[in-house]
Structure 1
């Protein structure tokens, strides 16, 4: 009997960079060679980055290519398939990297977002350096952006309608993906002009990277003053999600919100929640702090589902999400098996926009096809195929910042022992009046100043105005657990959007509960309850 091959090890990209800096250059060089290779394949090649990056969102296909009643990408968000679909997505991307000659042993590294290095310095420089020397030639760093080999045309009628200046996510051939603080919205003449003017204010690439890194560090470590325990926003959310008691609640924000609304005294954090923060931080949102200096007009590709996976950093981010998923499995003793609660709202498309290849109302199980990913025999992967990453998929993870949570241990503390809490419940935010992703943030007066006590990032498509299927879920909201004494002194809620805060100047406490979208002048009421 042959001995099974040892699983490949996905390492932290920062550790690979450190090896390179110490003179051990082969691993990083091969990674760059593999990425350069898949980006240079013809766009129709199944291993090309254009094909693989396009599976997530644009270029849209099926009914979603024309109508907002459907999502035109394959990605799973706000459903129980979020972790497993993306796990197989990474697996397919990794196999494509290994198809490049000389790169057969390449594995996909993860950006260790909770590491001390990320908290202190931002994104690892292998993902942001402008150039890289490969085989004696200085090339554009394959990990920092992607130039479209062909145009992406947004044909969704409700995105543009009869107004040529309404939002559109079309991208021309030769478009290069961008990150905060730049804008990549170029689908209409008005957007092209606004983007050109905006980007002209940020001509220095190295300075832009410093601005991006500062934004990432702020998101990771921004103090949240919900109670006596002050914690870093995103780092703590990643740690807390590992305490989710079952796969269904761990997996997605729909299940998380339903549970938290019904159980305000024992809230959970879903993996998808801190995942959303990083998308928005890379893609163009400032941390919603009281004293922030926002950069209005930033519209990076990672910040919207439509184009997020066309930026290479998407896969390093999602590799960390998969690493966190594996840590949760180990912590919960679920490395060989877990189940989906079929009674949970996250287990169907009844209140979710079905992706390409699915239908409204479909129930989601461990046997639901993870379209479009095929096994070697031509059949489609399902979630039960990817529970055990070592035994079923042949990879594992090297050291990372969440390793200490892999063993059962006391829950991550959100509040001091015995501290009484209340739930701040936000509801009724009309997504149809907000273009793209946005942030719901709650503020309270702490030590004489208004401080952040909770935030929820909502990763959305650019325009849901005409989405017939979205009408059942256009009302967005969130729940925040806050110390009772903080809640008693008053909590104000602000919605931060691509077009600035909904309100006057962030955080606008004068209009909490009734906010104004600056771009449309439309009234967007919402409700704030303390329960």
Structure 2
């Protein structure tokens, strides 16, 4: 094996790739975690000693011993202060998965008819059938509110498994064995067929809650209104920003924030997790969020549990038993991360109107605060504003936070939650929510800043009733000049 010495190595670009999955797995089994930046940094001296030739202990196989060049590169990383750096983004590869989900705009006539048959088939099943539309949509919240997996690390893994379970049900309909669940790219209008039966609405055959009795029919905005809402929340821009984040906490927080805004943009049913999954558009909507995470994993070289851990900058507990469970499904969070095992892929859109994709290169991100050991510089034209500590349990349902300057809105963020957050264990554990805005300095300089928290209307989530700030925890507003982390 021929290698060159890397004089200025960084963790994300170079060092994390020095370890094979089998090495990380082996060490983890011995109680030594070197799978994340912070963990490897803490163990770096021992790793260097144990991998240094000619009498290296690790890796054990002779043909996988580190070369002198790799050892020197690793030493350089230590001596330079363990720089984090940014990854080299990998181009999206053609998927070898057996299930390939297409852009909903690219379906053939036969594929669309098969999809209609599949949806009609599961909708026609008795409500207590495990493959029925009623049973599966009900797993998202009502009538089984204990399955909430939102605003936490397991949001993406849980919904990935949920989508696969629903797709399995569609495939159980005779003649629909090869159906896959298309994605609707929210940056473009929904295809017309999504406003036609059986995709336009669903009527509850049984009560799921006093607010949603049998006979409740799902509803949503027309396509034009929906897209106006998407634009007003800046969802395409939020997606683009999130896809450029290489740290897991920042990607998942940003992408779920855009997801929340998408839900409330679509209409009355989708604005509430209580019944959102009963709207047939939910499945096409969520297929797209799954596609974006799938793309991000490939681009960041994080397609297995061990490689994925290299992007985590917070706790990895959600990948560790028993905290990795994704009830009511048998798969666990670390299994959902493994793209090869999940065996689902996504086809790129065929038309010219393509939505946000992972950028070809990444720049150091800008943040309101960085650790003091980072090399940084202040930006001149952008500031961050954080509304911190909103007590979400005091707000019955989805809401938005509006940042105003001299009374004019300069930013808004939506939060997707049940009408009964106090009854949700996950919500209680994460009762305080923060909301970040990045705004132009000229939009807020020498202006009076204020914050409104608005409870969204159940009938029309474009409308809101202001919640007194003292009633939702007296949140604070922090405004800071953005700092740019330099590699």
TM range (shorter): 0.5 to 0.7
The ranges of structure 1 where at least 4 consecutive aligned residues each deviate by more than 6 angstroms after the TM superposition are: 340-343, 401-404, 412-415, 466-469, 521-524
Q: What is the TM-score with the length of structure 2 in the denominator?
A: 0.67
Say if 2:392 and 2:472, in contact at 8 Å, map to a contact too.
Answer: no
Alpha-carbon deviations, 1:419-444, whole Å to 9, x = none?
33322221343434432101112233
Match of 1:338 in 2: 308
* Alpha-carbon distance between aligned partners in 1 of 2:131 and 2:310, rounded to the nearest angstrom: 31
Inter-CA distance 457–404: structure 2 relative to 1 (3 Å threshold): closer
Post-superposition CA distance 1:373-402 (Å, at most 9, x none)? 2xxxxxx2012223343x222221111466
**Offset of 1:302 from its aligned partner?**
1.1
C-alpha displacement of 1:404? 7.0
**CA shift for structure 1 position 489:** 2.7
Cα distance in 2 between the residues matched to 1:47 and 1:387: 24
Determine which structure has the larger helix proportion and give its number. Answer: 2
* Preserved contact between residue 324 and residue 402 of structure 1 (Cα < 8 Å): no
Pair 1:59-2:143 in alignment? yes
1:152 matched residue in structure 2: 208
Distance 1:432 1:463 in 2: 8
- For residues 193-228 of structure 1, give each alpha carbon's deviation from its aligned partner in whole angstroms, at most 9, with x where no partner exists: xxxxxxxxxxxxxxxx2xxx2332223323xxxxxx
Match of 1:492 in 2: 450
Q: Could you say if the C-alpha distance between residues 516 and 302 of structure 1 is closer, same or farther in structure 2, counting changes exceeding 3 Å?
A: closer
Per the alignment, do residues 308 and 321 of structure 1 end up closer, same or farther by CA in structure 2, a change over 3 Å counting? same
Q: Are 2:350 and 1:382 aligned?
A: no
Aligned partners of 2:96 and 2:345 also within 8 Å:
no
Which of 195, 215, 237 is matched with 1:174 structurally?
A: 215
The equivalent residue for 1:442 is 403
Task: Identify unmatched segments of 5+ residues in structure 1.
Answer: 20-24, 61-71, 130-140, 154-167, 181-208, 223-231, 254-269, 284-299, 348-362, 374-379, 501-505, 509-514
Instruction: Measure the CA separation in 1 of the matches of 2:171 and 2:427.
Output: 39
Relative to 1, partners in 2 of residues 1:236 and 1:471: Cα closer, same or farther, differing over 3 Å? same
1:10 paired residue number: 101
Q: 2:141 touches 2:147 (CA, 8 Å); kept in 1?
A: yes
| Partner SS for 2:149 | coil
Deviation at 1:475, TM superposition (A): 4.1
Change (3 A) 1:343 1:324: closer
- 8 Å contact kept, 2:99–2:180: yes
Structure possessing the higher radius of gyration over alpha carbons: 2
**Are the aligned partners of 1:75 and 1:85 in contact in 2 as well (CA < 8 Å)?**
no
Which of 196, 205, 214 matches 2:224?
Answer: 214
Change in Cα spacing, 1:143 to 1:216, as seen in structure 2 (3 Å) is same
CA deviations on 1:5-54 (whole Å, 9 max, x unpaired) are: 852221111222xx4xxxxx211000000000011111111111111111
- Indicate how the Cα distance of structure 1 residues 527 and 405 shifts in structure 2: closer, same or farther if over 3 A, else same: same
Correspondence 1:269-418 to 2 at 5 A:
270-283=254-267, 300-336=268-304, 337-339=307-309, 344=314, 363-365=317-319, 367=321, 368-373=324-329, 380-389=330-339, 391-400=340-349, 405-406=357-358, 408-411=360-363, 418=379
CA contact (8 A) 2:249 2:312 kept: no
Aligned length in residues:
364
Match for 1:97 among 161, 166, 170?
A: 170
Q: Does 1:38 align with 2:122?
A: yes
CA contact (8 A) 2:158 2:326 kept: yes
Secondary structure at 1:453 match in 2: strand
State the alpha-carbon separation in 1 of the partners of residues 338 and 402 from structure 2: 37
1:420 equivalent among 363, 371, 381: 381
Aligned counterparts of 2:174 and 2:364: Cα–Cα separation in 1: 45
Counterpart Cα distance in 1 of 2:347 and 2:427: 40
Cα displacement string for residues 433-468 of structure 1 (whole angstroms, at most 9, x for unaligned residues): 4321011122336xxxx7543222111110335778
Between the aligned partners of 1:42 and 1:507, the Cα distance in structure 2 is 37
Once residues 8 and 467 of structure 1 are traced to their aligned partners in structure 2, the CA distance between those partners, rounded to angstroms, is 34
Change (3 A) 1:27 1:342: closer
In the TM superposition, residue 472 of structure 1 has moved relative to its aligned partner by: 6.1
Q: Contact conserved, 2:319 with 2:334, CA < 8 A, in 1?
A: no
Is 1:73 the equivalent of 2:146?
Answer: yes
Q: Which string of whole-angstrom CA distances, capped at 9 and with x for unpartnered residues, describes residues 360-385 of structure 1?
A: xxx52255121112xxxxxx201222
Asked if 1 retains the 8 angstrom alpha-carbon contact of 2:457 and 2:464, the reply is no
Note if 1:529 corresponds to 2:487.
no
CA RMSD of aligned residues (A): 3.4
- Secondary structure at the aligned position of 2:327 is classed as strand
Q: Distance in 2 between matches of 1:530 and 1:404?
A: 28
TM-score calculated relative to the size of structure 1:
0.61
Unmatched 5+ residue regions in structure 2?
Answer: 1-94, 368-377, 481-487
Task: Please report how far the alpha carbon of residue 335 of structure 1 lies from its aligned counterpart in structure 2 after TM superposition.
Answer: 2.4
Contact 2:245–2:365 (Cα < 8 Å) also in 1: no
